[in-house]
Amino acid sequence: MTTSINHWIGGASVPGTGGRTADVTNPATGEVTGQVDLASQDDVQAAVAAATAAFPGWRDTSLTKRTQILFAFRELLNARAPELAAIITSEHGKVLSDAAGEVARGQEVVEFACGMPHLLKGAFTENASTGVDVHSTRQPLGPVAIISPFNFPAMVPMWFFPVAIAAGNTVVLKPSEKVPTAAIWMAQLWKEAGLPDGVFNVLQGDKVAVDGLLTHPDIASASFVGSTPIARYVYETGTAHGKRVQALGGAKNHMVVLPDADLDLAADAAINAGFGSAGERCMAISALVAVGDVADELVAKIHDRATGLVTGDGTRGCDMGPLVTAASQDRVSGYVDAGESAGAKLVVDGRTVQPDADGKGFFVGPTLFDHVTPDMSVYTDEIFGPVLSVLRVDTYDEAVDLINANPYGNGTALFTNDGGAARKFQNEVTVGMIGINVPVPVPMAYFSFGGWKNSLFGDTHAHGTEGVHFFTRGKVVTTRWLDPSHGGINLGFPQNT
């Protein structure tokens, strides 16, 4: 018995009209658990129409009322977070504790957005010119599109929609068709929190839905997160259709270990950042750069830890879950084959893992390569699986050159006890998010999240003040209350007196 997963339009569950659906699977068992609607053009029209109709009323709802609804959403989410975590585990496969962590990090953005009255405060200058006052405001854009990836079914949409909604926009969220249920669950929670119908809509689907949103004249902006080729396409298509776009792409994140680092702490960090969520994180560490003579000892320590990890069904208290689909499993295994053929030393082989799970889940266990070189596909490509590659370099400068030559620039980490080296590193690397002895440096909600180079197309990062800027546009009002002394004709450019 499978469930049917529909759109959420105008405050209600709405079945798709095109007759196209996709299977949704439980990655830990391989079982098909549902069929998700894939939007037709008519479905796109209906979702955008609902968001467009709801916009004037929501834009004009007072900030006090808007934020009261955000606070209500926060309270409901706090009370019911385990339900959402269970949905994430059942469709994505990540272990329950990791899913709960994802919900908590998304909730931080809801809490940030609860402060929207303060964030939207403009500036006022009295008597800028004689008898003339000037003030600035920021106003919402209109109906906005959010297109999210499979790997964070709740957190990534929450990077955007709390800020968008609190600022007075209406939303059409297009979740990944691999993990569609979390978005519907959050839509129901918004309704319970008192959000007017049509302010938050969910359009299920694939490229048809994305293209429909990117080219729709009533959609004001697109916030996208996914792989780099699609991010580039979304940026180019959206901007060509007059939209404001922020498109976050893929990653290849390096962790550099200097000779003075504590190697036990570095090995723990490499395990957590390399194999957490089965490596399906855009901030996962996939390249470990060992500087000087640390490599042999570090690789041995990572080996011992990796072989002790339990891979299996995320509901059973394992360390690591499955990959999201059978196709991902094949793809990741293919990279392990390629790394071996290219001459890298396979220290731990995840292809032979014995998972703690029933059925035919999509498992690849923790995999560790040593002696990887920059020309190998295990280094050049974003594998998006539990594959950690160790590269050996002689100097700090070689490590930084490697990072800066990489086309991605999402996150990076340095492990050292040398403050001077850390300060130099954070200044020199061409990467957006940097951890000093922090392997997964995901910024807090009140800072902004985003990479450099091929990891982000657009000018603004997600949430924090950049997120508020993205979802609003500025106006400056210059005011003079006229009296008879202001009469007279003067065609010159206005000058201040």
Q: Which is nearer to ligand NAD, 11 or 249 (CB)?
A: 249
Backbone angles phi, psi at 262, to 5 degrees: -75, 110
Q: Smallest gap, in angstroms, from Cβ of residue 423 to ligand NAD?
A: 26
User: By C-beta, is 213 or 291 nearer to ligand NAD?
Assistant: 213
Minimum distance of ligand NAD from residue 433's CB (angstroms):
9
- To the nearest whole angstrom, how small is the minimum distance from the Cβ of residue 255 to ligand NAD? 16
* Residues forming the site for ligand NAD (CB under 6 A): 147-152, 156, 174, 176-177, 206-207, 210, 225-227, 230, 248-251, 282, 382, 384, 410, 451, 455
Q: For residues 11 and 149, which CB has a smaller minimum distance to ligand NAD in the complex? A: 149
CA distance 248 to 456: 4
- Within 8 A by CB and 6+ apart from 281, the residues are 151, 152, 440
Q: Please, what is the minimum distance in Å from the beta carbon of residue 216 to ligand NAD?
A: 14
Catalytic residue among 266, 267, 282, 391: 282
Q: Is 282 a catalytic residue?
A: yes
Q: How far is the CB of 11 from ligand NAD (least distance, A)?
A: 23
Q: From the CB of 158, what's the least distance to ligand NAD, in Å?
A: 12
The angle that helices 228-240 and 207-215 make with each other, rounded to 10 degrees, is 30
CA–CA gap between residue 276 and residue 299 (Å, rounded): 18
Determine contact, residues 153/183, Cβ cutoff 8 Å: yes
User: Where are the strands (E) in 344-455, listed by range?
Assistant: 345-348, 367-370, 387-393, 408-409, 411-415, 433-436, 452-453
Q: Are 365 and 386 in contact (CB under 8 A)?
A: yes
Q: Which is nearer to ligand NAD, 58 or 471 (CB)?
A: 471
Rounded to an integer, what distance in angstroms lies between the CA atom of residue 84 and that of residue 106?
A: 12
Distance CA 70, CA 64 (A): 10
Tokens of 360: 């035919």
Q: How many Å apart are CA 17 and CA 441, to the nearest integer? A: 42
CA distances from 497 to 121, 126, 129, 132, 490 (A): 27, 13, 5, 10, 14
* Cβ-closest position to ligand NAD: 226
Task: Please report how close the Cβ of residue 43 comes to ligand NAD at its closest, in angstroms.
Answer: 14
Nearer to ligand NAD, 323 or 357 (CB): 323
Q: What is the dihedral of CA 263, 267, 269, 273, to 10 degrees?
A: 150
Give the residue with the Cβ less far from ligand NAD, 251 or 294. 251
3 state DSSP class of 420: helix
- Identity of the residue, 176 or 367, whose beta carbon is nearer to ligand NAD in the bound complex: 176
How far lies 307's CA from each of 279, 313, 351, in Å?
16, 17, 13
Contact 141, 169 (CB under 8 A): yes
User: How far, in Å, CA of 85 to CA of 106, rounded?
Assistant: 12
Burial of 396-435, coded b for 16+ CB within 10 Å and e otherwise, reads beebbebbeebebbbbbbbbbeeeebbeebeeebebbbbb
Least distance between ligand NAD and beta carbon 147 (Å): 5
CA 57 – CA 449 distance, rounded (Å): 30
The Cα–Cα gap between 358 and 321 comes to 13
Which of residues 209 and 266 has its CB atom nearest to ligand NAD in the complex? 209
Give the active site residues.
282
